Structure 1
Amino acid sequence: MTLSRRRFVAIAAGAGAAAVLAGTVPAAAAPGLRRWKGVALGAAAEMILPADAMDLLPAVQAEIARLEAIFSLYRPDSALVRLNAAGVLEAPPLELVEVLGRARALSALTDGAFDVTVQPLWALHARAADPTLADLAAARALVDWRGVSVEADRIALARPGMAITLNGIAQGYVTDRVAALLRREGLTEVLVALGETRALGGHPAGRPWQVAPAAGAEALPLVDAALATTEPAGHVFDPATGRPGGTVARITVQAPTAVVADAVSTALALLPADRRAAVAEAAGATRVW
């Protein structure tokens, strides 16, 4: 499964970068707006929201912490870490069941290019810069999305040593959950960037939000939709080979929700060009750059 640099930071040593919110400015130059910066799922995060909504930050941070306790790979007590350690998780959180269900559907759609069970490959390459063919084969034998059994009351991995990473989909899911919290509080013009970017409405100035998919890249307009970018160079492992892969230098996906944009950008980075459009459309993406 492909992981951008910002996703990689939650798994192994490396530098992360959150989305660049082009066109957003400090409060002094944008009356009524404030910028919050923090960390979500081990990566830099930020939001642009009305000044009179800053009292919602404790609720936002509590929701991020609650979801990190489910999806994080760097918290030893998270639901995901416990699943990986034991190979089974009884009475799993509903959010974990939902995300794994979404992941399974995309794995089927992409014939396994998107595969949440690639964690053994990350662990192998973190231990050895140039793993042996035997070690690669052993790690690849543990990678198979079909070996994850997901029921409302139980999640199980088919073989000892299998492990899951959700860093190609969970950031989008968390972004959507925070956006939903803000919408329930009545906010309609907010930009949320928790690894992936979700806009509620447009900019209060009556124009689209401007979101650059990477530092130095041209900004893209965003209104009531989501963007996710994958830059696979050096941070993509092809489940079919167990080695770094990727078919593009950068791919950006727009979708109605951040979880879809996140997962689809992750998947498309490993697919050949002639398959990307069909997969993106079937998965619910609206534009691909």
Structure 2
Amino acid sequence: MASLFTRRRAIAIIAAAAGLPLVRSAEPARAAADAVVWRGQALGAQATLILHDDNRSRAATLIAQVVAEVDRLEAIFSLYRSDSALCELNRVGGLAAPPTEMIALLERCRTYWETTKGLFDPTIQPLWALYAHHFSASGADAAGPPAAQLKTALTRIGFDGVRFNRDRIAFIRPGMAMSLNGVAQGFITDRVVNLLRNAGVTSSLVNMGEDRAVGAKADGSPWSIGLASQEDSLKADAVLEIVDQAVATSSAAGLHFDGSGRFGHILDPRTGTAPQLYRRLSVVAKEAATADALSTAMSLAAPQQIPDMLAPSDEASVDLVTMSGEHLRFGMDG
């Protein structure tokens, strides 16, 4: 049975080194006795790292390196740490001597913004803040924020209003702010994968909010990734088998601003609306950052628009379920 890893509920690394057997389990506590296991917090969620290695000291050192790297990157990209580089940028509208990782991610964001014709846009934060503020107020209008406030928020959105180079990042319009939540977890997943590979790990499944496989499982078979629209679902509506690929899933059901479930967290940067076109949309790509960004953007696109967003160089494909229950695939066999 495939495990259902979700963006907010599970963060894990299950890895084998030196050709040792690899246990794929939904219950990290049942890891084999020879495994080194770490449990704690990462990216605001419970995390479990399991590494199988005949040298336990080496395994413990590698896990410590992973934990330190995740913490370092979270200090750059997190919206929930007031001392992060991103929060500083949003507070003052500019950032001098930005971390090189932030510039690297913004360069990727520009590519995704262009590829999706603006459906992926990190400057969505003012719109997110408007919805969050509106529905947190007592007696909030169930119809959503007033049209005038939506119009004002939309004037602050647009990745073309972000200027950046290795020396500085700046917003060119007042009131702009960014959220990297739609891509940073994938970016961090990719960084952890690189760290593991450089340490000689050849078989691993990494989940830092998105899944990415290093090679196949230790027995040579593909990794199985279960897909579901609900975070607490115990049953997959589809199972993907991957080797050296990443999978990211977006679903409006993941978070709602309102109690009725009318306004989901996937917001259209062009209109300010919260369309719910799909029960879930999953993207498979070579890198987790690409899968992460595209799954968000494609959730706002009609099915006929999706193939145009699949760049051949990314070897990306899509598996989705519409709100009516129709199961569609693009760029996949079958």
- Is TM (by shorter chain) over 0.5? yes
Q: What is the CA–CA distance in structure 2 between the aligned matches of 1:245 and 1:150, rounded to whole Å?
A: 31
Match of 1:250 among 280, 287, 299: 280
Question: Is the 1:80–1:164 contact (alpha carbons within 8 Å) kept by the matching residues of 2?
Answer: yes
Conservation of the 8 A alpha-carbon contact between 2:12 and 2:47:
no
Q: Secondary structure of the residue that 2:297 maps to in structure 1?
A: helix
Please report the RMSD computed on the Cα atoms of aligned residues, expressed in angstroms.
2.3
Q: Which residue of 2 aligns with 1:3?
A: none
Alignment deviations for residues 60-101 of structure 1 (CA, whole Å, 9 cap, x no partner): 110001001110001111110011111011111111001111
User: Structure 1: how far apart are the matches of 2:148 and 2:289?
Assistant: 35
* Partner of residue 168, structure 2: 154
Measured in 1, the distance between the counterparts of 2:31 and 2:49 equals 16
Between 239-248 and 110-119, report the one with greater CA deviation: 239-248
Does 1:185 pair with 2:199?
Answer: yes
Change (3 A) 1:199 1:124: same
1:264 has 2:294 as partner: yes
Partner of residue 101, structure 2: 95
Deviates more, 1:222-231 or 1:35-44: 35-44
Q: Are the counterparts in 1 of residues 244 and 286 from structure 2 also a CA contact under 8 Å?
A: yes
Instruction: Indicate which of 182, 192, 216 corresponds to 1:202.
Output: 216
Distance 1:44 1:276 in 2: 33
Cα distance in 2 for partners of 1:222, 1:36 equals: 25
Query: Residues of 2 paired with 1:55 and 1:241: CA distance?
Result: 48
Taking a change above 3 Å as real, the CA distance of residues 211 and 19 of structure 1, as seen in their structure-2 partners, is farther
Cα-to-partner distance string for 1:103-126 (whole Å, 9 max, x where unaligned): 111111222111100001111111
d(CA) in 2 for partners of 1:161 and 1:37? 39
- How far apart are residue 165 of structure 1 and its match? 0.3
Q: Which has the higher contact order (CA 8 A, sep 6+)?
A: 1
CA distance in 2, matches of 1:122, 1:38: 29
Give the secondary structure class of the aligned counterpart of 2:252: coil
Residue identity in the other structure for 1:235: H
Asked if the contact 2:245–2:284 (Cα under 8 Å) also holds between the matched residues in 1, the reply is yes
In structure 1, the residue matched to 2:10 is: 18
- For residues 268 and 240 of structure 2, the distance between their equivalents in structure 1, rounded to whole angstroms, comes to 29
1:61 aligns with 2:67: yes
2:268 corresponds to 1:238: yes
Question: Structure 1 residues 28 and 167, CA, compared in 2 at 3 Å: closer, same or farther?
Answer: closer
Do structure 1's residue 226 and structure 2's residue 246 form an aligned pair? yes
Corresponding residue for 1:10?
none
TM-score (norm 2): 0.76
TM superposition shift of 1:20: 9.4
CA distance 1:102–1:173, change in 2 (3 Å): same
- Checking the alignment, whether the CA contact within 8 Å between 2:266 and 2:296 is kept in structure 1 is no
Match of 1:41 among 22, 40, 43: 43
Kindly, what percent of the aligned residue pairs are identical? 45
Which whole-Å CA distance do the structure 1 matches of 2:248 and 2:39 have between them?
18
Report the CA distance shift for 1:196/1:29 in structure 2 as closer, same or farther (over 3 A): closer
- Give the Cα–Cα distance (whole angstroms) in 1 for the partners of residues 187 and 243 of structure 2: 18
Give the secondary-structure state (helix, strand or coil) at the position aligned to 1:118: helix
What is the CA–CA distance in structure 1 between the aligned matches of 2:273 and 2:37, rounded to whole Å?
Answer: 39
CA 1:264/1:204 → structure 2, altered by over 3 Å: closer, same or farther?
A: same
Q: How many residues align?
A: 276
Higher mean displacement: 277-286 or 208-217: 277-286
The structure-2 alpha-carbon separation of the partners of 1:54 and 1:203, relative to structure 1 and needing over 3 Å to count, comes to farther
Distance 1:207 1:54, change over 3 A: farther
Give the superposition deviation at 1:38: 3.9
Provide the secondary structure at the position in 1 that maps to 2:278: coil
Counterparts in 2 of 1:29 and 1:37: CA distance versus 1, 3 Å: closer
| Structure ID, larger Rg | 2
Distance change >3 Å, CA 229–CA 223, structure 1 → 2: same
Distance 1:208 1:35 in 2: 23
Mean alpha-carbon deviation: is it higher for 220-229 or for 163-172? Answer: 220-229
Of 93-102 and 39-48, more deviation after overlay is shown by 39-48
Residue by residue over 1:31-56, the C-alpha shift from the partner in whole angstroms, topping out at 9 and shown as x without a partner, is: 75566554332234444532442432
**Alpha-carbon deviation of 1:230?**
0.7
